[in-house]
């Protein structure tokens, strides 16, 4: 059974760096074809794919966030991480991590709400 | 970037109706199209992957079809628990993109 859970600061100030952790079970990020994606959703709005990291270390970021995104993984501890630098109010959203295969995101975490406010 | 356009944005139908939701890509996505269901206050759930493959545990009343730029999600007999917003998603090319969603309501 695949499960994922996101954790993060809840609230942070503009210009700071957002750090999120995805802790998962039921699969390994060292297994061929496995990946983790990050997706966010502002309240009442649509979904935005942010980044994906794969079993082989390859990463893909959404260029709409320019170079603000960094995704990484700790295979031994079954965790993936997302950092977003220079946050502003537009980054306020629920952030999800999702177990990803070549067929796309399959299982999603419950999401973590992040508010950017001074 | 590939733009995904969903229609209608809101759909109201009766229990038992056959319902069709549409998704159009701005270019050919080679059937790399998924459908997700998001109920209020919950995370999205995968229904269909690669156009017409039913995810494990999803009821058979859900089905998908399409090719090229045009895709559909069909619910053969609408049930009250199907009230949700449905998103299409292309994973043919980076950056991956979602449609803006169709909100499905019961009349």
Residues of B in contact with A64 (CB under 8 A): 1, 95
Does A81 contact B at CB distance below 8 Å?
A: no
Sheet holding A79-84, edge to edge: A3-7, A18-25, A79-84, A69-74
Model confidence pLDDT, tens digit, residues A96-110? 999 999 999 999 999
Res A112 pLDDT > 90? yes
The single residue listed with the structure tokens 């760096």 is: A17
pLDDT at A93 over 90: yes
Measured CA to CA, the distance from residue B23 to residue B89 in angstroms comes to: 9
Report the residue from B43, B91, B95 with minimal CB separation from A63: B95
For residue B2, pLDDT over 90 is answered with yes
Beta strands A59-61 and A112-116 are: unpaired
Residue in A47, A63, A104 nearest the CB of B49: A104
Chain B interface residues facing chain A, Cβ-Cβ under 8 Å? Answer: 1, 32, 34, 36, 43-46, 49-50, 53, 55, 87, 89, 91, 94-101
Q: Which long-range contacts (CB under 8 A, 24 or more apart) does B69-72 make?
A: B69/B24, B69/B25, B69/B26, B69/B27, B69/B28, B69/B29, B70/B22, B70/B23, B70/B24, B70/B25, B71/B22, B71/B23, B71/B24, B71/B25, B71/B33, B72/B20, B72/B21, B72/B22, B72/B23
Q: What is the pLDDT of residue B31?
A: 98
pLDDT band at A66 (very low <50, low <70, confident <90, very high): confident
Which pLDDT tens digit goes with each residue over A19-41?
999 999 999 999 999 999 999 99
Q: Is pLDDT above 90 for A84?
A: yes
Which 8-state DSSP code applies to residue A92?
Answer: -
Residue of B25, B7, B6 lying closest to B93 (CA atoms): B25
Average confidence score pLDDT of chain A: 97
Alpha carbons B105 and A32: distance in angstroms, whole number: 40
Query: Which of chain B's residues have a Cβ under 8 Å away from the Cβ of A69?
Result: none
Q: What is the pLDDT of residues B37-62, one digit of tens each?
A: 999 999 999 999 999 999 999 999 99
Q: Is the pLDDT of residue B30 over 90?
A: yes
Residues of chain B in contact with residue A110, where contact means CB-CB under 8 angstroms, are: 43
């Amino acid at each position: 059974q695949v499960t994922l859970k996101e954790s993060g600061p809840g609230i942070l100030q503009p210009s700071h760096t957002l750090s999120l952790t995805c802790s998962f079970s039921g699969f390994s990020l060292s297994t061929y074809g496995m990946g983790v994606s990050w997706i966010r959703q502002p309240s009442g709005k649509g979904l935005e794919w942010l980044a994906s990291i794969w079993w082989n270390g390859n990463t893909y970021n959404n260029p709409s966030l320019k170079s603000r995104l960094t995704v990484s993984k700790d295979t031994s501890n079954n965790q993936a991480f997302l950092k977003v630098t220079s946050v502003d109010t537009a980054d306020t959203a629920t952030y999800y991590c999702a177990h990803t295969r070549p067929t796309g995101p399959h299982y999603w975490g419950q999401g973590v709400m992040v508010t950017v406010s001074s | 970037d590939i733009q995904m356009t969903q229609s209608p944005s809101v759909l109201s139908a009766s229990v038992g109706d056959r319902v069709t939701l549409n998704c159009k890509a701005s270019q050919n996505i080679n059937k790399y199209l998924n459908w997700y269901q998001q109920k209020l206050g919950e995370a999205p759930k995968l229904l269909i992957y690669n156009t017409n493959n039913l995810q494990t545990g999803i009821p058979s009343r859900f089905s998908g079809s399409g090719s090229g730029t045009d895709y559909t999600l069909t619910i053969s007999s609408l049930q009250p628990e199907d009230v949700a917003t449905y998103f299409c998603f292309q994973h043919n090319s980076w950056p991956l993109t979602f449609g803006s969603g169709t909100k499905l309501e019961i009349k």
